[in-house]
Copies of this chain bind each other. A is one copy, B any other.
Amino acid sequence: MEFVESKAPAVDLRVSIGSLSLKNPIMTASGTFGYAKEFEPYVNLHRLGAVVVKGISLLPRGGNPPPRIIETSCGMLNAIGLENVGVERFISEKMDSLKGVNVPVVVNILGDTVQEYREISKRLADVDGIAAIEVNISCPNVKKGGVAFGTVPEMAAAVTAAVKESCSVPVIVKLSPNVSDITVIARAVEEAGADAVSLINTLIGMAIDHHTRRPVLANVIGGLSGPAIKPVALRMVFQVSQAVAIPVIGIGGIETVDDVIQFMLAGATAVQIGTANFINPRASEEAVEGLSRYVVDQQLRSVRELIGGLILAD
């Protein structure tokens, strides 16, 4: 799929995620950008590299009871519980408006079983206007006692293979950071056919209200995101980009163009902006603008020169 103008723009910000060409490396992260429409008042959506929509499951999910979010030091915990309209209503209600905004749409999917991932992918396979599928493997595998797919190489690979078989768009596998060695999982999904990996999803955390002596989140535990986790994300992106040959999409605490550059130097081909959208809804577009200025100022031939450009030894 081609979303870039046929004539290369003055500043070359283009990057490729497998067969998908993006006009720039700035994407928005799943669950933090709604179905994009929410950001129309603030952002020229067509200027973004891509948008990733809220995770979609086979059937609609109501999500967790409140409270679902709590601020932490330089971060936030969320336990949304993957509230979403389900794949059918997503296609019928959301895809039209998404197609209208003229930006590549990446659909983030999740499931309780490998079979569920397969079915969602099949259902999405022939829907027009989907640029790629991003597979959230941080979900618990109900058949394996709730162990997250993303923490066991074999399970991660099985989900990847199932999705790959079921659709023809590029498949991005979104890795969980809650593992001993993320490169092992990355290599497993690469071997299983993933076209790219994106990382990191949230770190598992918890907050307690010492007044009530109860967990703050109804779900007890939640996912930590925001600037607090950036150092962990950057390290994992660095490690994974050295371990796999497929493109790596960096996620975690990215707020400004400086963060984008750091993730690209660490090895990311593209990045996703998550929590920062809540604080500054224009964060993604400002990152595109900043990156464009940077490439000009630094007289780079293209933004791709940054990828993995970290200087390690003297």
Contacts and interface: CB of A to CB of B under 8 A. Distances in A.
Interface of A: 72-75, 77, 151, 178-181, 203-208, 210, 212-215, 220-222, 224, 226-232, 234-235, 238, 253, 258, 261-262, 265-266, 309-312
Contacts of A73: 74-75, 226-228, 230, 253
* Oligomeric state, in copies: 2
Contacts of A224: 231-232
Contact of A258 (B210, B228, B266): B210
Given A228-B229, A231-B205, A210 B265 contact: yes
A261 B265 CA distance: 41
Contacts of A265: 208, 210, 213
A88 to B, nearest CB: 34
Given A178-B180, A234-B207, A253-B73, A311 B228 contact: no
The CB with the most chain B CB atoms within 10 A, among A203, A224, A232, is that of: A232
By secondary structure, the A interface counts as mixed
A312 B75 contact: no
Given A204-B235, A232-B205, A238-B206, A312 B77 contact: no
A314 to B, nearest CB: 9
B235 A206 contact: yes
B75 A208 contact: no
Given A208-B266, A234-B208, A213 B74 contact: no
A152 B127 CA distance: 45
Which are the 7 A-B pairs with shortest beta-carbon distances? Answer: A205-B231, A74-B74, A73-B227, A206-B235, A228-B228, A73-B74, A208-B262
Contacts of A208: 234, 262, 265-266, 310
A184 to B, nearest CB: 10
Nearest to A72: B231
Contacts of A221: 235, 238
A57 to B, nearest CB: 24
17 contacts: A72-B227, A72-B230, A72-B231, A77-B231, A151-B181, A204-B232, A204-B235, A205-B235, A206-B231, A206-B234, A208-B234, A210-B262, A213-B309, A214-B311, A220-B238, A224-B232, A228-B229
